Amino acid sequence: MDRLDNLIKTSATNLTPRDDAATRVMRDIQKRRWGRLVPTSRFALPMLAFLMSGLALAGTASYAYYQSNLRPALSRAQLEQRVARQIAAARANNVGLNINEGEIPREPAGISLPSCETTTAELCMYNFGVTNGGEAIVVSEGYFADEAKMRRLAETLFAQTKQLNFASRTPIYSKKIDALNLPLLVQISQDHRQPTATEQAQLDLSTPDRPFGQWNCGSESGCDLEYNYWPGATVADWSNWELASQHVHTLILSKPTSDTPYIK
Amino acid sequence: MEDSYAISATLKGDIDSFEILVNRYYRGLFNHLYVMVRDESLADDLAQESFIQAFKALRRYNPEYRFSTWLYRIGTNLALKSLRKQRSIRLDDIPELPDGHDPGKATIVEQTEAQVRAAIALLPLKYQTVISLFYWHDQSYDEIATTLSVPVGTIKTWLHRAKQALKHSLEESLWID
């Protein structure tokens, strides 16, 4: 190394970030990831608690009013619109989910079962990925009250991805999910393209008991089939997300496409 | 904790592990970005955004590369994007001496370092970036090529030309031959 190399080397810019950079970054990550504002003052937490209690009271009152007055009057279309709005609201409140192809984990075949990621009052946020040798991938993210159930679900999904292709496995999911007796919100994602009529028929899990399957083709990632139910649930159960979130599990089933970068 | 372990733990849901990476690389990235944008506040914002983007895309991180290389690539791209928006060349791009610094009391070493930094700041951005990554952030030619998405040969050329330009601008004042 000659003199110029040494001069350059020793002339490194070495500024110090103005305040605690790590704290700010991590706070922002929490905020962006979960959409929550992190309280920054000693007054914020009591204020937040006060607002939340007010919202809870209002939600309970609304739900009771809805149950006694509005429920019989809603048509199927209205019910579906309501569900769509509630799903959107759930997403806005981070109970729902958000995924694109870049977030699908590149993992060897198997299941990654994480620990509890973040918590609400009662629920635990988990992420897990289920892959099948780079061909079929299931990514799930959601709130689970019961880790054992989440693990069973992941294992079941993994077992299915090992045997089935995307189109044919869906009805099996339905049966298995029923067998697990788990409340679920399922989103099946078809990246980059409109589903064919056959796929729609295969993937539309709607039944009279579970009427909420619908395609949503407005997202950047393509078309999703949003579908939610839990055994014995009615549409009315979705009228109060706070109530529903105590029961719901959220899943995304995503099919990678040939232009997904890591699929060879 | 090694980077790979912290990344793995983060992916499994332990967000606190990511903080280890932030603490480990924030200052270096911030300084690299400052060399590019010459604005402490903007460099701070870009460094913060780099970590957030890295966090969001962590599942796409390829462990064949060092985490820092990937992170610097994200940061460099953000800085370039930011600079493209600015479009104008600022006259105060030459770095200033720190607050409270009395040029009269500066040691010869400090004056020399300030001169070198000023000369580097006058180089084209790509040369500044290569110098920052090569000399101050210990990236290899291959890693810089990855960070900047250009061939290794180009990196060597840029570095050579950057040094030639520096030699030319500093040779009289610092007797560099």
A194 secondary structure, DSSP code: P
Q: Searching chain A, which residue's CA lies closest to the CA of residue B115?
A: A11
Q: Are B32 and B136 in contact (CB under 8 A)?
A: yes
What pLDDT does B30 receive? 92
Q: A64-70, long-range: CB within 8 Å, 24+ apart, which pairs?
A: A66/A236, A66/A239, A66/A240, A67/A236, A67/A239
What pLDDT does B175 receive? 61
* A138 or B52, higher pLDDT: B52
Instruction: Tell me whether A137 touches chain B (CB under 8 Å).
Output: no
In the predicted model, residues of chain A with pLDDT beneath 70 are 1, 18-19, 31-264
Whether A22 and B95 lie within 8 Å, measured CB to CB: no
Nearest-CA distance from A122 to chain B in Å?
17
What pLDDT does B29 receive? 92
* B115 or A225, higher pLDDT: B115
Spell out which residues of chain B touch residue A116, defining contact as CB-CB under 8 Å: 13
Q: Which ipTM did the prediction report?
A: 0.78
Question: Could you tell me which of A105, A113, A108, A60 has the C-alpha nearest to residue A239?
Answer: A60
What pLDDT does B25 receive? 92
What pLDDT does B177 receive? 56
Tell whether the model's pLDDT for residue B132 goes beyond 80: yes
Whether A17 and B51 lie within 8 Å, measured CB to CB: no
Mean predicted lDDT score pLDDT of chain A? 42
Q: What is the pLDDT of residues B77-93, one digit of tens each?
A: 888 777 765 533 333 33
What pLDDT does B170 receive? 81
How far is Cα B145 from Cα B142, in angstroms, rounded to an integer? 5
Instruction: Tell me whether A146 touches chain B (CB under 8 Å).
Output: no
Pairing between β-strand A222-229 and β-strand A214-219 as defined by DSSP bridges: antiparallel
How far is Cα A228 from Cα A199, in angstroms, rounded to an integer? 18
What pLDDT does B39 receive? 82
What pLDDT does B167 receive? 85
